Structures are given as structure tokens and as C-alpha cells.
Amino acid sequence: MESTFKIYINGKALETSAGKTVLDVAREHDIYIPTLCHHPRTGKAGKCRACLVEVEGLRGLKESCALEVRDGMSVKTHTEQIQEVRKMIVELLLSNGEHNCIACEKNGHCELQDMAYHLGIERPGYLLDYERITLDESSEGIIRDANKCIECGRCIKSCNNNVMHEVLDFGWRSDHMRVICDDDKPMGESTCVQCGECVQVCPVGALTFRYAKGKGPYWELDKTKVICTYCGVGCSIDMFTKDNKFVYSLGTEENWQDQTNKGMLCVKGRFGFDFLNREDRLDTPLIRKNGKLEKAGWDEALDLVASRFTDIKAEHGPGSIGFFTSARISNEENYALMRFARGVVGTNNIDHCARL
């Protein structure tokens, strides 16, 4: 058993163990420490300094994302000094770039916006000149707006260390530094496979999903956990929907360490579900009449299927009917068809596409 000890955050005693950071412990106990460059799946970065805390006995402010807990440590998260520093950081970030929340896709779900709100910043305290960078809309699924980027580096870390596509990096220097694809190609012409991981970890509106644009702000979307239908990995997806339409997918972040996909998705799991919204979905039974498939009612269709199966079984025996079940329907539905084939029709002629 690893030994546990207590640390104190804002005077509150909290049980914890070695190897964790102050930020980890604060998060476990719902104590809000703002972060921008830190993400649970990309780990500590120690860049943005938004997570600074005061530790008794240590000089200066410390980055809680990188500070490991020690027995008896006493931490303050919201002193006047800390808030002043955070305010300065956020004001500088807000001053550099275009952080216009009004029509931003990230409105309501933006970590920079959250910080500004909590710090009571209504407008940036500085006015900085900056060179506007044209949107990168070259990719089918992802829009890049470098003007909203705060250079936290999460997307780069995740692209290189989590999904391992090795596309994103920082390019250029000083004022001109920005996130680039390969050797600064437009995303759509780069080696990017559009898994969308970068969008999922972006704290601001610098990376967004093209087809989610204008479909509804975050707070109007419903989130449901589903299992991806595209391969045997069985990725856990948080599917976001609105008005009974699919909007976008995120890899499930909750318990990500134990998820089969550890919060990640591929291009199919990310972007491949708009087929659900299609107008050409079948929405009525069809029966072939005079060589053509024509719309029919459920009773008519089901009666026909049942009577034809009954007749064919009577004439040629149960083994004359075959069943193709599916590797895309659920266990329960597979069981239902298996029970129907074996228990109702009376044949073992049931198989599925495991071979195809």
C-alpha cells in the first residue's frame, strides 16, 4: 500500500498520496484552479502560469500543475497576489489576438473565457498591435483560427504524444510563433489525418469542427455516451446532439485512463456520424410490387414476411431459410435474431460478416 498523508488547500485538510500534483488533488476535490496549457491527457506543461499557487514556506508563486504534493504542504489558491498575476496573464492573452466571444464556437465552453469571467475582466487592459492571420479552412473537418490561439501547446502534445500523428508543432519565432502543420502547410494539404484530437484538447476557439459551426452553442447541446460503430476497438464517444440531430463527437474524457480509446478518436469516429441526420434514411417498410419497391405499412410488411417464411418453411423445411445477422447491431439484437432463427424457424443457418 502506498502511504497517504494530508495536505492543506485553503486551510482544508485533504488526504492524498505521493506522485500527485497539487493541481491533481485540487481537481479531485472540486477546487477550481484555472489552467490553460494543462490538460489531463496531455499532462503538465508549465507554460501558461495560470495555475500559480502560494505554498507556505516556499518563495514565490508555484505552478500547481508541476508541483508534487508533500506531507503537510499548505497551499493557497486564490490570494490577492495570485489573482493579480492571473489577471495580468489573461489580460495579455486577451490583448493579443481576436478573442471575440460573441459568435465564437467555443462560447460557453472556453477555458480562457472562464478565466476572464472568474477574474472579472470585462475588457483587456492592454492594446497590442498584431498581424491578423488568415483562417485555415483547407481541412474538410477542422477550421484553424490562429488569431484565437494562445500557444498553450496542448494540441501539439496530443498530436505527437497521444494520437501519434506527428503533424503539429510550433513554427517561426517570437511574435511570429504559431502552431504549424508539417513544414507550415495548410492543414488540408498536410499529413494530418483529421482525427480531431487537437480540436478536442484546444482550450479556446482556435480549433473548431467545421460542420458544428452555427449548430448551437455548447449549453444547448445534449451529451450522450455511445460506443463507436466503426471498428472492433469500440471507442467510447461523447456524442453531442441538438434537436435530434448529430452535431459532433468527442472521445469520452471521463475515466479516460480506463477507456479502450483513452479519450482519442479517429477520423471516422470523429466525423463519420452525420449519416444519422440524412434525409435518405429508410423511414417506411418497402414491399416489391410489380418489380418495384413500394412504400407499405408495418402490418402489411410484417404479415407478408411472417406468412412467406411460414409457407417456405412448410414447403421446403426450416433449413431453406437463411439468416444474416450483423456485426453492427447490438448483442441483444444478435441474440434476438439467433433465437428467432433457431427457436422460431428452427434452423442453424445463421451467420454474419465475420468472414467478409
Site for another protein in 169-228 (CB under 8 A): 193-195, 210-211, 222, 224-228
Q: Does 271 bind another protein (CB under 8 A)?
A: yes
Among 21, 63, 232, 250, binds another protein (CB under 8 A): 232
Query: What is each CA distance from 273 to 241, 269, 335, in whole angstroms?
Result: 11, 7, 25
Site string for another protein, 82-121 (x = CB under 8 A): ----------------------------------------
Q: Residue 125 belongs to what H/E stretch?
A: none
Q: Which of 67, 280, 290, 314 binds another protein (CB under 8 A)?
A: 280
Residues 326-345 close enough to bind another protein by CB under 8 A: 326-345
Shortest distance, CB of residue 200 to another protein, whole angstroms? 13
Residue placing its CB nearer to another protein in the complex, 4 or 260: 260
- Residue 250 and residue 36: Cα distance in Å, rounded? 19
Out of 163, 204, 206, 250, the only residue in the binding site for another protein (CB under 8 A) is 163
Q: Which C-beta is closer to another protein: that of 129 or that of 279?
A: 279
CA distance 321 to 316: 9
Tell me how crowded residue 36 is: count the other CB atoms within 10 A of its CB.
Answer: 26
Q: Which of 80, 275, 290, 314 binds another protein (CB under 8 A)?
A: 275
Q: Is 35 in the site for another protein (CB under 8 A)?
A: no
Separation CA 55–CA 53 (nearest Å) = 6
- State how far the Cα of 341 lies from the Cα of 318, in Å rounded to an integer: 9
Stretch that binds another protein, among 25-33, 61-69, 74-82, 282-290 (CB under 8 A): 282-290
Query: In the 8-state DSSP scheme, what is residue 139?
Result: S
Closer of 80 and 315 to another protein (Cβ):
315
The single-letter code of the amino acid at 340 is F
The reply to whether 302 sits near another protein by the rule CB under 8 A is yes
Question: Cell for 86?
Answer: 492571473
DSSP per-residue string spanning 244-269: TEEEEEEE--TTGGGSTTTT---HHH
Q: Are 45 and 154 in contact (CB under 8 A)?
A: yes
Residue with cell 490562429: 146
Per-residue contact track with another protein, 233 to 262, x per CB under 8 A? xxxx--x-x--xxx--------x--xxxxx
